[in-house]
A = this chain, B = another copy of it.
Amino acid sequence: MATTQLSLPDLGRRAKAASRALALVPTAAKDSGLQEGADLLQSRVGEILEANGADVSRAQEAGTVPAVVDRLRLDESRLEGMAAGLRDIAGLRDPVGEVLEGWTRPNGIHIDRVRVPLGVVGIIYENRPNVTSDAAGLCVKSGNAAFLRGSSAAIDSNRAIAAVLREGFAKAGLPEDSVVLVEDTSRQSATEFMRLRGIIDCLIPRGGPSLISAVLEHATVPYVIDGDGNCHVYVDASADLEMAVALVHNAKTSRPSVCNAAESLVVHEAVAERFLAMAATALEGVELVGDEAAQRILPSIGQASEEDFGREFLDLKMSVAVVRSLDDAITHVNRFGSGHSEAIVTTDLVAARRFVREVDAAAVLVNASTRFVDGGEFGFGAEIGISTQKLHARGPMGLRELTTTKYLIHGNGQIRV
């Protein structure tokens, strides 16, 4: 790419210029660009896998742990998956241009609020090279330039994928700079990236706690945090206990490493004895740690510290708390939860209503697994992350959350008196 020698602000200005053009491109052209990109990802498999091989060898030589090397590694089927992802995005409805509301004022001016792209979406991410195509696809479909800053470990793969996508997008007449990859992967460049105010319209950091705290500390551009999920399942006194066991089992074990997996079980004392015996059997293989009351019922489990209740294990481990009332359950969830997804299992209408109103989280579920809080499960088609913040986007973020709005006002000479 000709962009290798450019400074970070210059790269950003290219993305900005591309975003101005891309904002005006009709949906059909964006969709062809995504299809062309998908085709090239598959026809250029050799080139991409060669680049990826360089990343993988470097990681292995550096003694990187196998799980991390695996996340880095691409093969033909993973590339097919990435291509399929771009084709899926091409099939989604374009959010740009939607009129959200419109009204006429007494003086005759007419106001419309219309959905428009954000502009330049900056994404800082870690090892997985598939993020390069997923993020580029979502950004471009929503009319935004994707300004990507991946990790040094994946730089060869990312460079190859970005080059192919740029070529594919250009074939369909989209600006080549619809995707701009930052090749300087130093820590200083990450910090500089977060401070490109006036260039990056929205930063989405995708990474662990140290990246998030760097963003909170240094970013001057607007950002959306895709935070932790310390999700609870509360089993109410009135719960259907068979259902509760099935939900807890699904929420904890179907994919423990993801943010919508349950990390903590909260049980009303009226059903704690019966339910925890059932749950302990169903959750065989899951390490449980509990408070005193839980330990009295299940003497073999370890003690849960305060820290355990606040922690996202992302593993086959779960904390257990026994509470004396719905009030205590709500207090516990609001105290330890991370504002992601919280579930109640109950047959009591009043308890359900109180739980959904009083628990402060992006999603609150009644008699359903926390695992449903996901862009795909919501029907959004694809997601760029799950926001645990309250501004702009809360919960699963699809194409719509990659847009902003603009007021269009039409008059015939009105002045303000």
Residues on A close to B: CB < 8 A? 20, 23-24, 103, 105, 109, 111, 118-119, 197, 201-202, 216-217, 220, 222, 224, 240, 243, 246-247, 249-250, 254, 334, 352, 356-358, 360-369, 371-373, 377-379, 389-392, 394-395, 404-416
Contact = CB atoms under 8 A, between A and B. Distances in A.
SS class of chain A's interface: helix, strand, loop or mixed?
mixed
A337 to B, nearest CB: 12
Contacts of A364: 406-409
Nearest to A354: B24
Given A390-B202, A395-B407, A406-B362, A369 B416 contact: yes
Q: How often does this chain occur in the complex, in copies?
A: 2
B415 A246 contact: yes
Given A250-B416, A371-B415, A404 B390 contact: yes
B103 A407 contact: no
Nearest to A403: B390
Given A24-B357, A362-B406, A222 B390 contact: yes
Contacts of A246: 413, 415
Residue of A24, A220, A390 ringed by the most chain B CB atoms within 10 A = A390
A358 B143 CA distance: 13
A100 to B, nearest CB: 10
Contact of A367 (B105, B197, B250, B412): B412
Nearest to A371: B416
B119 A363 contact: no
A250 B220 contact: no
Given A250-B415, A390-B202, A409-B365, A220 B217 contact: yes
A234 to B, nearest CB: 14
Nearest to A255: B416
Given A243-B412, A247-B415, 15 more contacts: A20-B358, A20-B360, A109-B368, A119-B360, A119-B390, A363-B406, A364-B407, A365-B410, A366-B411, A367-B410, A368-B409, A368-B414, A371-B415, A373-B407, A395-B406
